[in-house]
Each structure stands twice: as C-alpha cells, then as structure tokens.
Amino acid sequence: MQTPLQLTFRSVEHSDSLALHVSHRSEKLERFFDRIISCHVVVELAGHHRSRGDPFRITVNLGLPGHEIVVSHAPPEGRILDDARETADRAFDEVERQLEDWVKRQREERHESPQKT
C-alpha cells in the first residue's frame, strides 16, 4: 500500500485485537492487487437496540489508481448481532469480491485495447 492503513474508531472504544484483525485483512487485499493506494477503515456503532445491544458498522474505503471501492456493512435489522470482528470480515469479503472484479475488468480492457507501437 502506498499509504499506511488508516483505522478510525467512532463512538466506540479502540480495540487492539480488532485493529490487528483489520490490519491483517487489509494486507491480504494486496495479494489481489499490489498497487493499492490507500485503505481507510471506520469502525462505529450503527445504533442501539435495547434487547440486542449495539450493532457495529464497518466501512472500508479502498483507493486504487483511478478507482475507489467503498463498502459499508452492518447487520441487517432484526438479525442476531454480529460482533465487530465478524462485521469486519463481511465488509472485507465484499471488498475482496469487488477488487477481484475490478482487477479482472482492468486486465480484460488491456487485452482488448489495441496495442500502440
């Protein structure tokens, strides 16, 4: 990554274990594409429910050359809550899918465009 991972905790206490988990997941993205410009992850509370606790929302903003992938994930309404780590995994899983699709499209466009000589 050209710039180090940015991790922001909003309305929730900093967690070293969650920060380490997010760091590992962001490093894993580089095996799909090694020219990632930036990755900013925001961990925040998505609201409060008296009987179900506090759901987390994880937003991942991935900066790529000429493109940006933004994914925000929070547990669906009425669902037994995911913990922050599981919510982060779901957000990063979606980012990985979108990144793989983007890389594939970039490769296809390079192969389809006429070569300049």
Q: Which domains does the chain have, with CATH numbers?
A: 6-111 (3.30.160.100)
For 26-59, b/e burial (b = at least 16 CB within 10 A) is beebeeeeeebebbbbebbbbeeeeeeeebbbbb
CA distances from 117 to 35, 108, 111, 114 (A): 26, 19, 15, 9
Q: Using 50, 70 and 90 to split pLDDT, how confident is the model at 85? A: very high
Helix (H/G/I), strand (E/B), else coil: 73: strand
pLDDT in tens, 48-80: 554 455 688 999 999 999 999 999 998 776 665
pLDDT, mean of residues 92-117: 85
- In this structure, the strands spanning 6-10 and 38-45 are parallel
Beta-carbon count within 10 A of 12 CB: 14
The yes-or-no verdict on residue 117 having pLDDT over 70 is: no
